[in-house]
A and B are shown apart, each in its own frame.
Chain A
């Protein structure tokens, strides 16, 4: 599909974010198209999470605009409205499940707070979401402390999807999972993205996820997006950091598959 045919889900223009004297994001611009899975790579501490947290309104910005689904996201310090919360779901790196609620209550929490729904229906929806992310209905009564790493991520994803958002933000969804679970999780993201028509914004270091599930990959270096496009384009990029990232020792093993 050509670029003009797709509307953008997130449009970031000339974004500047800094802490004290340090500028983390320097006039960064990025377009995320509707219905795509965009992977964001960058050096550790290079501002990937800062970018994500700025878009969702957790970090104030110095200048620049952020449009999400065609609506401008408020300026620094503004509280995210309920409407915005229903617009996106967020999977935090450690899951960030509420430890005193059961799995089912965690998934129901956004439903309970935002919608008027009968308790029976709320139970059914919560179990439906859990089954969609590959858990069983019995898991609903467990507490977050009783879950394995992979299950925690799945529950967090179910909670992020509770309100059927148009966009999901995933912060390193496969970190800390074994390659098989990580692969399963990637497949799950792809499936859900297709069934629910999601736009996925994924911060990741997992070269395999970038390669298999991402439609496009954006590379963040020196506070700017230095390269963006399908994986094959990035592999051909001349930018020194991108080259080092994709052609370094650790990524050598992937080369035969992608080129």
Chain B
């Protein structure tokens, strides 16, 4: 085992060297020491400087006898020198290769034979156009995927309505527990704070006109019509939508979805429908709880910051808001839930094999569902205004 490092000398490797002696007839290259990847930095510069001596002699001689050890990297660097000489039409002779390295040197002669074609340069205008086309195609595909999911869900729902016993009750209740019950503390905390902040800002600014009492109108209408449901929907999209995408995505990666399909089960019916239905049923409840917490926060601020007692607050609230405001808010909730659920599940199904794609689809799912929830809210505002609600 002449070339192998002996016991304990892993750190103490012979210094690599490369002498090049050029005469008219022959350029003699004599690598020495340890040509291994640990000495990489030196090896590359040695090989480069030896390259400068090429072209003056008729033939090249590579003498390996002073090499104490060599690995793929070292062998490849010397092989590159050899190929360069051969490409110039020079005779190359290799001598003194230790017996245990013959195989390696021979092997390296066979690799990297085919030049890698460099990527053809693109016209920048064409690239821009291609990107634009890709983007448009991607958007169209997004829409198609969304509609496909709506269709698949409707079909699954129809099947369930025909055979109600095939509804996965356990899964449904478990999902409701996870995205509804477990979300209540954080939803209550955040909506409470937002209600309090709105009330404080309102009192601070309305005080200048002596219109503090109208803060109750503002908080009441804003929370019940818009903010309660919107904030809760955004939170649910971030909290549960992302979880749906990640769950379904990793099931896709581990071929669990394929396994379901091969057992004759519809993944939409088994995995996605319970999740979406749970979301549609729990989001209105969460929105209601959140709205109440926001009103409570507003009321507390009105009492301690605005000096308006609870009885007056409630009485004013009674005058300011009607059931219509409450209905408008609650009516929006299931539609927002549907959008979040569909986006989260369809993005989950689009996860490909890599860990990166899982992260990417989860991000896309949250961004897209928050965007769509806000767009939907705007559409509802127009709709309710036009029917006079």
Contact = CB atoms under 8 A, between A and B. Distances in A.
Interface of A: 6-7, 34-35, 69-71, 83, 86-87, 99-100, 111, 114-118, 121, 123-125, 127-129, 131-132, 137, 143-146, 161, 163-164, 166, 194-197
Contact of B44 (A114, A118, A123, A132): A118
Given A70-B6, A87-B10, A121-B77, 5 more contacts: A7-B7, A83-B11, A194-B103, A195-B106, A197-B4
Interface size class of B (residues with CB under 8 A): 35 or more
B142 interface: no
Nearest to A128: B111
Q: Which 7 pairs of residues, A with B, have the shortest CB-CB distance?
A: A145-B353, A100-B356, A70-B7, A195-B103, A164-B71, A99-B354, A128-B111
A259 B66 CA distance: 46
Contacts of A83: 10-11
B154 interface: no
Contacts of A128: 72, 76, 108, 111-112
15 contacts: A69-B5, A69-B7, A100-B354, A116-B40, A118-B44, A127-B112, A128-B108, A128-B112, A131-B111, A144-B354, A145-B353, A146-B353, A164-B73, A195-B106, A197-B3
A125 B11 contact: no
A34 B10 CA distance: 15
A84 B114 CA distance: 34
Contacts, number: 103
A145 B354 contact: yes
Interface in B76-127: 76-77, 80, 100-101, 103-104, 106-108, 110-112, 114, 116
A87 to B, nearest CB: 7
B101 to A, nearest CB: 8
B111 A143 contact: no
B353 A144 contact: yes
Given A7-B7, A143-B354, A194-B103, A137 B36 contact: no
A192 to B, nearest CB: 9
Nearest to A69: B10
Contacts of A123: 116
Given A117-B44, A128-B76, A166 B116 contact: no
A99 B76 contact: no
Contacts of B164: none
Given A127-B112, A197-B4, A100 B103 contact: no
A35 B1 contact: yes
Contacts of A114: 37
A114 B40 CA distance: 10
B143 interface: no
A203 B3 CA distance: 27
B136 interface: no
A34 B110 contact: no
B354 A197 contact: no
A127 B10 contact: no
Nearest to A9: B4
Given A99-B354, A128-B108, A137-B116, A71 B8 contact: yes
Nearest to B108: A128
Given A100-B354, A145-B352, A164-B72, A124 B112 contact: yes
Given A128-B108, A143-B354, A163 B103 contact: no
A53 to B, nearest CB: 22
A196 B72 contact: yes
Contacts of B137: none
Contacts of A7: 1, 4, 6-7
B355 A100 contact: yes
A128 B107 CA distance: 9
A183 to B, nearest CB: 20
Nearest to A82: B38
A70 B37 contact: no
B41 interface: yes
A114 B76 CA distance: 18
A253 to B, nearest CB: 32
Contacts of B40: 115-117
A85 to B, nearest CB: 12
Nearest to A83: B10
Contacts of A145: 352-354
Contacts of B100: 197
A121 B48 CA distance: 12
Q: Give the interface centre of B38, B73, B80, B108 by most chain A CB atoms within 10 Å.
A: B73
Contacts of A86: 37-38
